[in-house]
Structure 1
Amino acid sequence: MEKYINNILKCYRANGVVQGVGFRPFVHKLALDHNLTGWVLNDSRGVLFAVQGSQGLIDNFIKTLKKNPPPLALITSVKEEYTKEFDSDIIGFKVLKSDSSADVRTIVPPDAHVCDECIAEVNDPDNRRFQYPFINCTNCGPRYSIINGMPYDRPSTSMRDFEMCYQCNSEYSDIADRRYHAQPNACSTCGPKLLYCDSNKIYQDKNILELARLHLAQGKILAIKSIGGFHLSINAEDEDAVNELRKRKKRDSKAFAVMVSDIETAKKYAEVSFEEEALLTSPQRPIVLLKKKNSNLPRSLAPNNPNLGVMLPSAPLHYLLFSKSYLSVVVMTSANISSYPTIYKNDVAVDNLCDIADYFLMNDRDIYTRNDDSVICHFNEGGNNNVSFIRRSKGYAPFPINVKSSIESVLAIGAELKTTLALSKGEDVYLSQHIGDLKNEESFSSLLESADKMQELLSIKPKVVAGDLHPGFHSTRYFEENSELPVIRVQHHHAHMASCMAENQLDEPVIGSIFDGTGYGLDGTIWGGEFLVGGYDHFERAGHLLPFSLLGGDKSVKEPIRVAVSLLHSAFGMEAESLPLQLYEAISEDEKRVFLKMADRKINTFITTSMGRLFDGVSSLIGVCHKINYDAQAVIELEGLLNKNHETTDSFSYELLEINGCVVLDHRPIIREIVHELLSGITDKALLSRRFHSTIVKANCEICHKISQKTGIKKVVLSGGVYMNEFLLSNTIKELSEKNIGVFNQRLVPSNDGGIALGQIMVANAQMNKF
């Protein structure tokens, strides 16, 4: 016993992404390497483990654990629970049975791509998993999409329906094996299997994959079940197939994302920086927006857009589809009917996609949570490389945002477009996967299902619900009428500002430059070009865009030409009718007269300060886009003319007015000067677009600087969907920084409405703490 005199037992708890990622066998091996005895187990709060030995050995063990965790693990904390005297009855190191009795505090692991070791086995003819499309291990594979409860064990996943064979169970039980406690572990003997069919019959061909490859090469459209739902896929080099998919999906202009076989192929079709390559090859496998190269890919893949959404294979099935020489690039777009959520169930796919897909490549492993691909853009912000989420979903959800301070438990239901949910516990806000636009009952049902599931998985019982201030939003009204919890309504742009503050862990007053398309204002009008001052508990409107009219309300969102006519009337009055502008060739004389009368007499018009609509109107005015087929098309095509070149140029004229204590950006001089240029014969759309973008950057920074001087606040946060615009974002950051103003943007959640739930939680928490 003398050799144990200086030895002690210490118990620790690890939190973060520590379940389903090989953390327990990692702890086990690491303890043995450090000559420590003890035990480890999963419970609902994370991973609990005890090690015993000398203090020095234990310290080195903890240091190594934090520094070199397993590939998919993300440790947020390792805290000591208790210290005891050495226990001689503990011999060796044991993995104990999971304990699910405690309150859930661990993080549900996101889905991850298949690792290199598994791919090597798939390609090895001598391996028993050769060509098996559901291979995985503790370092890779589906997680969030197949989980139905915590702790993360096989009975709590859709793999519970597949009993492991002797060989798989031996791997699963062997602490030294890479598949130790890999919950989706399976092989061709005992695991999920592929199914292949069309709308009439099931194909019994043994080589389903070869048949699928052949059909893709022949220009057929396949509905392919991936990790988080179905994709519609075609040969991306086949222009006829691209056009046919557009026709069947009723998607005239919106870009299709493509999946390429490897990073070398990506570089063949697009410019790929070092940082973009790191994103493409990361375990999350997002779609990354890259600058297109001249290639043989059809222009119709991403018309009027300098970018191409590119992703690498993420599931074993994807690699197998590319394993023959037939294909190197395929379209992989979400399989859904327009405005409806992505389909993730086999029977629903066959029923709803039979008019789009020629064939269905499915499997018998259920998806419990639909999970769209994440979309990311890498950009250079004032000389600093960074990323901007366009959609945060697969690979990232439901990983939380740490907000530094402990907050109340709140359920935030987001807005009605690009909806995500959020739940808070302690210092963390957990964001759901992308749910989408709540335009139909299917999407709304998905919202409710996700809310219930996240509360159950994370064991969070919210005290309140936070929703948008807009009186017409179905989601907010539903919870007010059907929930026992009180509902706190949060002004839309205040939520945007709070979202950016939260992810940057700011708690002092800031200036918020909030630019988006639509948000219900405190005065009942449509806001969208706002300069706010305040924090989580309050805000004041310190500036905004000069109001103008939306002709026909929501019709202006679909028809930017209506916004252009309204802006012309605002700048020229009824004299706008006689301006010899090419714009008017896109509408009839009757439409022109009606639109101008609507603007002049305020008939069926709505007042707005929307920066998004201003961009729409200018896009139409210079002849880029008069009617849209997808969200933000006019703005995307206007920015697309810049070809990812972020150099500023001379700005147009603008004025800053003082109205009711607010700094107001008068857009009328901008419109007048654009018209003057057009009538002078300057029709270079790219130049006009660059000058307009440069004008908004300059005016934005000047207003922020004025407000800073007036208030003494030296920090500005940038949020709202218009900040998806790389030119606007990067140059605003650069110019504000040069004015010695601290500037913060959104990097962890989208600046569009996909990140607004985070802000709703912070504002609701602040309001709760007032009472």
Structure 2
Amino acid sequence: MSRVRVHTGRVDEQARADERARADEQVRVDVRVEGLVQGVGFRPFVYGLAVRLGLAGCVGNDANGVFVEAEGASARVEEFLVALEREAPPLARVDRISVVPRAPAKAGIEEPDGSGARRDERPGKPAEIGGEAAGIEGGERGGGAAGAFTIVDSDASGRPRALVSPDGATCADCLRELADPGDRRFGYAFVNCTNCGPRFTIVRGVPYDRPLTTMAGFAMCAACAAEYHDPADRRFHAQPVCCPDCGPRLRLLDSRGAELPGDPVGGCAGLLRAGRVVAVKGLGGYHLAALASDEDAVAALRRRKHREDKPFAVMAADLEQAGLLCEVDAPAAALLADRARPIVLLQRRAGAPVAASAAPGNRRLGVMLPYTPLHHLLLAAVAEPIVLTSGNVSDEPIVHRDSDALARLGGIADAFLTHDRPIHVRTDDSVVRPFRGRGSVLRRSRGYVPDPVELRRTAPRPILACGAELKSTFCLAEGDRAFVSHHIGDLENYETLRSFTEGVEHFSALFGIRPRVVAHDLHPEYLSTKYAVELADTLEDAELVGVQHHHAHIASCLADNGEPGPVLGVAFDGLGLGPDGTVWGGEFLLAGLTSFERAGHLAPVPMPGGTAAIRQPWRMAAAYLQAAYGGQAPEELAVAVRNRARWTDVLALTRAGVNSPLTSSAGRLFDAVSALLGLRDAITYEGQAAIELEQHADPAERGRYRASISPGGPLVVAGADLVRAAAEDLLAGTDPAVIAARFHNGVADLVVRCCVALRDATGVRTAALSGGVFQNLLLLERAVDGLSAAGFRVLTHSRVPANDGGISLGQAAVAAARDRLRG
């Protein structure tokens, strides 16, 4: 017989009384909050939450993040701890909350002893982990509501561990003030609050307080100071707070630097409508602007900047205006309106009011929305989209210093819309594209940096990874955080290299990371490799770690997805030095983080003229046609006819092996087909031939060419088979758009067939796709579809680029894994 326990009313009443007593019991906790919690209104949020709950204590910033002392009724303290994460400000990101119980004030205040407890490890009561509660001041409070809660001065001592917020797009509240004639910040180009505005680009050090930003030179007026110190105001402890009476000031200058009279924004808008080119100072540097619909103005900008074909970005005032330019579905709208405000690559609408020179030969257009008050004011005054491209000449980095702007951009811009708030770190615009309902980053910079990529497993020693030569980034990693830098550019000139070295020094100081391991590419002539070797010589006990280029690509994809491997890695790009001394680029790797095996690759072909074959894709067409036809390529092919004067000599180079290094590069295969179809014999920017081949392909075509695969170790794929099939179709009069599509489908097919063969041999059922060739959306879609249909789990990039901009993260992940292996 089961027994039933009967509770009397007195017992229930006693239980409720005990529960009330426990809830009313006075407790005190020291709390450490880590993550993105400085410069995002976290201290004001904590203050308001504590006051609402009647708690005593304090909150402050230090080198590790935010520290809190809270005392009050047990139930209220528990509610406070839960709300810290659930109700955090919009720009904040809480990674870890540590809690240490203390004796309440009436029992005597104890100083923090360095122990801590992770909130997610507390089974109903505080546990302990390592940590500090530096900067919390003791003192009798009398407990709970009888005490006060305050924001205390920041503690700048200790090694920096706090995160720095990326720059955030202007919030809705600030935009309302900007448009309100009755507001004191009406029309003010520098309106901001704790939920938006400049962050990373103005920070000189941590903790994030005004004296350590480029706003240090602007003393707050009485009205701004009152907002700054008012806990009920959303500008409470907003470090860049300012107004027209005390903040930065706009100026419109002519091309010689003389100030022009009148309203700077209105004057700039008038110049743009009149067909002029204007340099505009943004968050991370200067941009060059022209009216997007004005062919003469955009063509003049292109000519002056020496940028023959590479597409320009366009800024639209809002989503409605962007929708007149491009196809904007829900995922695209979300990316455009994201607080990072990246450039988003979208399908251009037929008849869009954009000059042909803005993005020649490209079906897509890079569109972004305004992300500063100045951009909002300017777009409203112009009343139509503008081209807004990086303020630089050719391949130099974006100009960010006022002293350089006139000198470097004076021959391009007719005028300068500038201001006197310094930019500490130059950051170009980020570029993303929608892929299967989410964003995929092509260039990671403003709005995303310096948010770290969380590593699945920690790095035992601090690491600096120096990246590659093109689309340069570096990465500093320690513990479970990897800080991938902003996009720096191609390390081909002094200015870019200086930007690289300055960036390394700034990140190292900002995050307190002193590298003990320096990772680099295997190519000895990369400037990033030379920098790594020279730096390691200056560091005590530093270890150099070389990481093969394509292994780094796959490791980057693994780190991007939080995966350890092993995977079947498909690394398709332009080039990277292989351990055998040849130029790789069409690779199938069996890879984990510590090591890799070359399990397959495209059959090598000569690169006639070496790097000249990269600049002149017709040379790769000649090499591939020779391989496809055994030296008897049809002479009537148009690519041979167009280049008749040099065709025979180039073929002779390939046969003799003179200045014709062998390459397995997938990028060079795409170049060859682009030239074969008459799309591009010579390029003006990296990847142009392949980009135009993708743009030319008919997306409705499902036919495909088939490449033969030679079995063995490794597999060898005959890319020349695809070229021959394309040439035969071309001679038969097939539409080049159909040929381009069949080629793309053929490349996707060989990816799937190779991965299936390697899965059967190894049992590995996860594929990772990386390398610049997988920026090709048509190829990526077809490859992912084919692999998924074949039963693979497929990893692609989202947080860091598939191109060489993600190489530094891969190098860091490999170096950390090897360090762990050594124990």
Partner of 2:485: 432
- Asked if 1 retains the 8 angstrom alpha-carbon contact of 2:314 and 2:385, the reply is yes
Is 1:538 matched with 2:538?
no
Partner of 1:43: 62
Partner of 2:3: none
Deviates more, 1:552-561 or 1:45-54: 45-54
Q: 1 CA distance for matches of 2:236 and 2:449?
A: 24
- Asked if 1 retains the 8 angstrom alpha-carbon contact of 2:604 and 2:663, the reply is yes
Is 1:554 matched with 2:605?
no
Residue type matched to 2:34 in 1?
N
Is 1:217 matched with 2:295?
no
Is 1:363 matched with 2:419?
yes
Superposed displacement of residue 5, structure 1: 6.2
Q: Deviations over 1:92-111 (max 9, x none)?
A: 21111111112222211101
- Asked if 1 retains the 8 angstrom alpha-carbon contact of 2:466 and 2:532, the reply is no
Q: 1 CA distance for matches of 2:799 and 2:256?
A: 45
- Asked if 2 retains the 8 angstrom alpha-carbon contact of 1:145 and 1:228, the reply is yes
Superposed displacement of residue 34, structure 1: 2.5
- Asked if 2 retains the 8 angstrom alpha-carbon contact of 1:217 and 1:327, the reply is no
Partner of 1:727: 778
Residue type matched to 2:247 in 1?
G
The aligned runs of 1:510-659 (5 Å cut-off) are 510-576=567-633, 578-587=634-643, 589-642=644-697, 645=699, 649-659=702-712
**Runs of 4+ deviating beyond 6 Å:** 2-5
The aligned runs of 1:165-564 (5 Å cut-off) are 165-294=221-350, 295-324=352-381, 326-380=382-436, 385-407=437-459, 408-482=461-535, 483-484=538-539, 485-564=542-621
Superposed displacement of residue 201, structure 1: 4.5
Partner of 2:719: 667
Q: Secondary structure at the match of 1:12?
A: strand
Is 1:18 matched with 2:37?
yes
Q: 1 CA distance for matches of 2:543 and 2:102?
A: 43
Q: Deviations over 1:338-388 (max 9, x none)?
A: 1110000112010111110000111111000001000000022xxxx2221
Match 1:71 to one of 62, 83, 90: 90
Match 1:136 to one of 189, 192, 202: 192
Residue type matched to 2:363 in 1?
P
- Asked if 2 retains the 8 angstrom alpha-carbon contact of 1:254 and 1:630, the reply is yes
Residue type matched to 1:281 in 2?
A
Q: 2 CA distance for matches of 1:593 and 1:415?
A: 35
Superposed displacement of residue 4, structure 1: 9.1
Match 1:93 to one of 149, 153, 157: 149
Superposed displacement of residue 769, structure 1: 3.2
Q: 1 CA distance for matches of 2:74 and 2:696?
A: 63
- Asked if 1 retains the 8 angstrom alpha-carbon contact of 2:467 and 2:473, the reply is yes
Q: Secondary structure at the match of 1:405?
A: strand
- Asked if 2 retains the 8 angstrom alpha-carbon contact of 1:269 and 1:292, the reply is yes
Higher RCO (Cα < 8 Å, 6 or more apart): 1
Partner of 2:10: none
- Asked if 1 retains the 8 angstrom alpha-carbon contact of 2:24 and 2:75, the reply is no
Partner of 2:122: none
Q: 1 CA distance for matches of 2:215 and 2:353?
A: 42
Q: Deviations over 1:227-263 (max 9, x none)?
A: 0000000111111101111111111111110001111
Superposed displacement of residue 586, structure 1: 2.5
**CA spacing shift, 1:53–1:617, aligned 2, 3 Å:** same
- Asked if 1 retains the 8 angstrom alpha-carbon contact of 2:256 and 2:410, the reply is no
Residue type matched to 1:523 in 2?
D
Aligned residue pair count? 760
Deviates more, 1:550-559 or 1:66-75: 66-75
Residue type matched to 1:474 in 2?
L
Q: Deviations over 1:83-138 (max 9, x none)?
A: 43355435121111111112222211101111111111111111111111111111
Q: Deviations over 1:573-613 (max 9, x none)?
A: 3312x4311112331x2301111111222121010000011
Superposed displacement of residue 534, structure 1: 2.5
Q: 1 CA distance for matches of 2:256 and 2:497?
A: 31
Q: 2 CA distance for matches of 1:74 and 1:768?
A: 29
Q: Secondary structure at the match of 1:322?
A: helix
Compute the RMSD of aligned alpha carbons: 1.6
- Asked if 2 retains the 8 angstrom alpha-carbon contact of 1:513 and 1:717, the reply is yes
Q: 2 CA distance for matches of 1:585 and 1:248?
A: 33
Superposed displacement of residue 619, structure 1: 0.9
Q: 1 CA distance for matches of 2:324 and 2:448?
A: 28
Q: 2 CA distance for matches of 1:466 and 1:227?
A: 31
Give aligned-pair identity as a percent: 41
Q: Secondary structure at the match of 2:551?
A: helix
- Asked if 2 retains the 8 angstrom alpha-carbon contact of 1:550 and 1:606, the reply is yes
Residue type matched to 1:174 in 2?
D
- Asked if 2 retains the 8 angstrom alpha-carbon contact of 1:235 and 1:329, the reply is yes
Superposed displacement of residue 750, structure 1: 0.3
Q: Secondary structure at the match of 1:395?
A: coil
Gaps of 5+ in 2: 1-20, 107-140
Q: 2 CA distance for matches of 1:334 and 1:398?
A: 20
Q: 2 CA distance for matches of 1:566 and 1:179?
A: 64
Q: Deviations over 1:28-64 (max 9, x none)?
A: 1112223322211111101111222333323322323
Residue type matched to 1:12 in 2?
V
Q: Secondary structure at the match of 1:388?
A: strand
Superposed displacement of residue 12, structure 1: 1.7
Superposed displacement of residue 681, structure 1: 1.4
Q: Secondary structure at the match of 2:216?
A: helix
Q: Secondary structure at the match of 2:79?
A: helix
Is 1:114 matched with 2:170?
yes
- Asked if 2 retains the 8 angstrom alpha-carbon contact of 1:500 and 1:718, the reply is yes
Q: 2 CA distance for matches of 1:287 and 1:128?
A: 32
Superposed displacement of residue 19, structure 1: 0.5
Q: 1 CA distance for matches of 2:268 and 2:157?
A: 46
Superposed displacement of residue 80, structure 1: 1.7
- Asked if 2 retains the 8 angstrom alpha-carbon contact of 1:569 and 1:600, the reply is no
Gaps of 5+ in 1: none
Is 1:717 matched with 2:773?
no
Q: 2 CA distance for matches of 1:491 and 1:703?
A: 21
- Asked if 2 retains the 8 angstrom alpha-carbon contact of 1:559 and 1:626, the reply is yes
**CA spacing shift, 1:200–1:671, aligned 2, 3 Å:** closer
Q: 1 CA distance for matches of 2:534 and 2:482?
A: 25
Partner of 1:9: 28
Superposed displacement of residue 763, structure 1: 1.1
Residue type matched to 2:158 in 1?
A
- Asked if 2 retains the 8 angstrom alpha-carbon contact of 1:7 and 1:86, the reply is no
- Asked if 2 retains the 8 angstrom alpha-carbon contact of 1:624 and 1:685, the reply is no
Q: Deviations over 1:174-199 (max 9, x none)?
A: 11111111111111111111122123
Superposed displacement of residue 648, structure 1: 6.1
Q: Secondary structure at the match of 1:688?
A: helix
**CA spacing shift, 1:717–1:502, aligned 2, 3 Å:** same
Which structure would you say has the larger Rg? 2
Q: Deviations over 1:481-514 (max 9, x none)?
A: 3432332111001111111111212123221111
Q: 2 CA distance for matches of 1:27 and 1:681?
A: 71
Query: What TM-score do the two structures reach when normalised by structure 1?
Result: 0.96
Residue type matched to 1:740 in 2?
G
Deviates more, 1:671-680 or 1:5-14: 5-14
Residue type matched to 1:149 in 2?
G
Q: Secondary structure at the match of 2:201?
A: helix
Q: Secondary structure at the match of 1:575?
A: coil
Residue type matched to 2:450 in 1?
P
